[in-house]
Each structure stands twice: as structure tokens, then as C-alpha cells.
Amino acid sequence: MKLKFNPSNRDISLLFVLGIFWGLLEAFAGQWIKSWQPNLFGFIMPFITAAFIIWAKRLVPLTGSILFMGIMSAVLKLFSSGMILHGAFMAILIESVLAELVFIFGGIGFWTGIGVGVLLQIYSMIHPMLTKGTLCQSSHFVRFRHWVSIHFFSGQDLQKSQVLLLMLVLHLLAGFLAAVIIWPVKLKKEKRL
């Protein structure tokens, strides 16, 4: 575990720009995805968030960078959502803390990126249980259960355990794919004198 926090002017600028971008991504892309595909929103938005976090950490590999960007993003989301604390605001803060902890203990590498992606997906699956005390009655679960039932099982009612298992597998796959898709993206290394 190597802690590094000696930011350059470039790093500080990137932290602010990426934090604001993350906030805008949560506020506007999140709303668009929720209206476009509400049944799969709980998979798509955490996938995008995990991919962004992995990419941003590689871009600004400072200890605490994801936490700083997460705080900025959460505050922007708080203002755009009408000051609701228990929803996306808390999710963004918790996601940034979890991701930062994984990066602190695992370093910045491909397998750590997979760990971050999977952990954020699992967290997004259990977030309704933490904020509202329920998982199987959450809108994410109910919409997904209905969507799977109609599209893949000819409208048959599925058991909660079947849906939970399917959700878990899809969340794990999405977390894995977030790292696999983002990792090959080349970052331009600047030469320092």
C-alpha cells in the first residue's frame, strides 16, 4: 500500500474537471438512462460509474482522488435532485469511499479495476436495502423481475431467489466488463522535467 498525494497543478485541475464531469454524468446521463431504459438502469448506470472511476484513477493516480471527485459529484447530484440525501447522493459518496479503499489497498492495476467494478456493482444492487430497508420490493428489483419475466420467460412469474441470482450474476458481469473495456484505453504520459 503506497500512499501518494503530491498533486501538480495539472492534477488539481483534473480533479476539479473530472469531479464536475462525474456530477454531470450522474445528473443528466442518469436521468436520460432512467427514462430510456428504466428496467436496466440499475445495471447501466453503475457500469458507467465504475468505468469512469477506473479511468479517472488511472488519469489522476493520487490517494484520495476518487474520494475528492465523489464528494464534488455527490454535491452536484444533491443540488440537481432537490436535496434528497438518501438516494444518489449517499450512493455516490459510498461508491467513492469503496473505490478509493480498493485502490489504496490494491494499487492501480487491472485486477484492482475488476475489484472496483465488481464491488460498485454489488453495492448498487444492495443500495435499496441500505437506504429503504428492502431489496425485493425496490423499484430496481420489481422492474427487472417484470422485464425478465416478459422478455425471457413468456410472462411467467419468477421466484425472488431466481431473480436475485440473475441480478447478482449480471451485476458481477457488468463490474468485470467495466474494467475489461476501460483498461486497454491508453493514457498519454506527459514527460516531466
On whether residue 158 sits in a domain, the answer given is yes
By the 8 A CB rule, do 148 and 131 touch?
Answer: no
pLDDT surpasses 50 at 27: yes
CA 59 to mean position of chain CA atoms: 17
Q: What is the pTM of this model?
A: 0.83
Residues 34-60 have pLDDT tens digits of 888 877 888 888 999 999 999 999 998
pLDDT number for residue 2: 56
Query: Averaged over 7-34, what is the pLDDT?
Result: 88
Whole-number Å distance between alpha carbons of 33 and 29: 6
Whole-number Å distance between alpha carbons of 100 and 150: 39
On whether residue 2 sits in a domain, the answer given is no
pLDDT number for residue 160: 81
37, 89, 112, 135, 165 from 161: Cα distances, Å: 23, 29, 29, 12, 6
Residues 6 or more apart from 108 whose CB is under 8 A from it? 57, 58, 61
On whether residue 192 sits in a domain, the answer given is no
pLDDT surpasses 50 at 190: no
Residues 51-97 have pLDDT tens digits of 999 999 999 889 999 999 999 999 988 887 776 666 778 889 999 99
On whether residue 120 sits in a domain, the answer given is yes
On whether residue 191 sits in a domain, the answer given is no
Average pLDDT, the chain: 84
pLDDT bracket for residue 188 (50, 70, 90):
low
pLDDT number for residue 118: 93
Whole-number Å distance between alpha carbons of 29 and 188: 26
Residue 37, domain extent: 9-182
127's enclosing H/E stretch is helix 110-132
On whether residue 189 sits in a domain, the answer given is no
On whether residue 188 sits in a domain, the answer given is no
pLDDT number for residue 56: 93
CA 80 to mean position of chain CA atoms: 18
Question: How deeply is 33 buried, as exposed, middle or buried, from its count of CB atoms within 10 A (0-12, 13-18, 19+)?
Answer: middle
What is the tally of structural domains in the chain?
1
Report the largest interatomic distance among the alpha carbons of the chain, rounded to a whole angstrom. Answer: 65
pLDDT number for residue 67: 94
